[in-house]
Amino acid sequence: MLESLRENLLTDVDSDDLRVVIISARGPVFSSGHDLKELTSAQGREYHTRVFHTCSEVMTLIQDIPVPVIAMVNGVATAAGCQLVASCDVAVATEQSTFATPGVNVGLFCSTPAVAIGRAVPRKVAMEMLLTGSPLSAHNALLHGLISKVVPEDRLEEETLLIAQRICQASRPVVALGKATFQRQMSQGRDAAYATASRVMVDNLALRDGQEGIRAFIEKRKPVWSNKAEKAHD
Give the model confidence (pLDDT) of 47-66 as tens digits.
Answer: 999 999 999 999 999 999 99
Q: CA–CA separation, 227 vs 134, rounded Å?
A: 44
For residues 34-42, average pLDDT? 94
Does domain 2-168 fall under CATH 3.40.470.10? My reply is no
The full set of domain ranges for the chain reads 2-168, 172-218
Q: CA–CA separation, 1 vs 212, rounded Å?
A: 41
Give the per-residue pLDDT at 185: 97
CB contact at 8 A, 53 and 201: no
Looking at 2.40.50.180, 3.40.640.10, 1.10.12.10, 3.40.50.300, the CATH number of the domain 172-218 comes to 1.10.12.10
- Per DSSP, 30 falls in state E
pTM for this prediction: 0.95
Q: Which among 67, 84, 63 is positioned nearest to 13, based on CA atoms? A: 67
pLDDT tens readout for residues 160-194: 999 999 999 999 999 999 999 999 999 999 999 99
Largest CA distance in the chain: 67
Give the per-residue pLDDT at 234: 85
Which residues pair with residue 93 across a beta bridge?
A: 73, 150
pLDDT, the chain, mean: 97
Q: Which among 147, 178, 9 is positioned nearest to 73, based on CA atoms? A: 147
Q: CA–CA separation, 233 vs 176, rounded Å?
A: 19
Cα Rg for the chain, rounded, in angstroms? 19
Give the per-residue pLDDT at 99: 98
pLDDT tens readout for residues 101-152: 999 999 999 999 999 999 999 999 999 999 999 999 999 999 999 999 999 9
From first CA to last CA, the distance across the chain in angstroms is: 44
3-state secondary structure of 92: strand
